[in-house]
Structure 1
Amino acid sequence: MRLVMLMAGGAVLALGACAREEMATGTPMAGGAKAVAMLRTADGTDVGRATATEVAGGLRFTVDAMSMPPGTHGVHVHTVGRCDAPAFTTAGGHWNPTMRKHGSMNPQGPHEGDLPNLVIDSGGRGTVGATIPGATMAGLMDADGAAFIVHAKADDLMTDPSGNSGDRIACGVFQPA
């Protein structure tokens, strides 16, 4: 009986180990690193935050926006951790370590920095989240950091390099959390 109990216990442990090794991309990780970018407009108004969290197989980006113009806005992770007003061009282009084209609808895309559009309601609030498979916190928080940009218009999810999403209207620099 003792041998049967030991064998059953070993089987349970083995199954548990397999489950840990085969976690689906996007599954939360205990103790995963996190970075936060506080979003501000060119005049310094606080309009929300973007969060990057390590998950199994990639990074999960979430955006919580407030006091933003209603409508649909392109949102992207950019390559440089700078947000110099008024145009935020110091944030550089989209985070694209795999050298792909822009957009989830582009057969040669997307960039790792491409996210779904952010929809802002009539009260100025909106949220969006997406998991980017293969993205790493080390890649995001490299020597020159990274920024998060909210654009004036919707991203068409196809046109290189930025989806015709218009001016940069809010920006935040990722900082370890």
Structure 2
Amino acid sequence: MKAVCVMSGSAGVKGVVNFTQDTADGPVHIHGEFSGLKAGKHGFHVHEFGDTTNGCTSAGAHFNPTKQEHGAPEDSIRHVGDLGNVIATDDGKGVYNATDKLISLSGPHSIIGRTMVIHENEDDLGRGGHELSKVTGNAGGRVACGVIGLAAD
């Protein structure tokens, strides 16, 4: 099964994220390419709603059906939608490659119809000590988003 998300946002930030899941209970392979970002790390999350009627703010909170605290992708305690950071180079381009075992393209943890968001700042992965660390990773504003949809196989 495959899915895609075309992201756009403020100040020319753009990106395309592809998701591939070979079996219904298998991991999801994620590949994203981005442009227009400021150099550095940017929080990268699946948010709960597929609603972008008010820009990225109407996408809701991080996708968290298991009601956990915010964490890193490799943590046992994390939101399902916590995918860590995209790292952008000085030319504003970033690439994200990962395999994730919590998100899915079907079933109760399905990300289809939800919104991908890239944030202006680094996700501290729940370890920053800020009051928002265990909620959002203190990643700041939302600079680009897009709704995840099914793609042709």
TM, length-normalised to structure 2: 0.81
Residue 135 of structure 1: aligned partner? 103
Q: Distance in 1 between matches of 2:95 and 2:138?
A: 21
CA RMSD, aligned part only?
2.1
2:43–2:139 Cα contact (<8 Å) kept? yes
In the alignment, residue 73 of structure 1 is paired with which amino acid?
H
Q: Which runs of 5+ in 1 are unaligned?
A: 1-32
In the alignment, residue 63 of structure 2 is paired with which amino acid?
W
Distance 1:105 1:128, change over 3 A: closer
Q: Distance in 1 between matches of 2:70 and 2:98?
A: 16
- Count of residues in Structure 1 that have an aligned counterpart in Structure 2: 140
Q: Structure 1 or 2: larger strand share?
A: 2
Deviations 1:85-121 (A, max 9, x none): 44x1111111122222101289762111111211100
Deviations 1:143-164 (A, max 9, x none): xx20100000000001221100
Residue 74 of structure 1: aligned partner? 43
Identity %: 32
TM, length-normalised to structure 1: 0.71
Residue 24 of structure 1: aligned partner? none
Distance 1:134 1:46, change over 3 A: closer
Matched, 1:112 2:80: yes
Matched, 1:51 2:33: no
Q: Distance in 1 between matches of 2:54 and 2:39?
A: 22
In the alignment, residue 112 of structure 1 is paired with which amino acid?
V
- Aligned-pair distance for 1:66? 1.1
Q: Structure 1 or 2: larger helix share?
A: 1
> 3-state DSSP class of the match of 2:84?
coil
- Aligned-pair distance for 1:46? 5.9
> 3-state DSSP class of the match of 1:90?
helix
Q: Which runs of 5+ in 2 are unaligned?
A: 127-132
Q: Greater Rg, structure 1 or structure 2?
A: 1
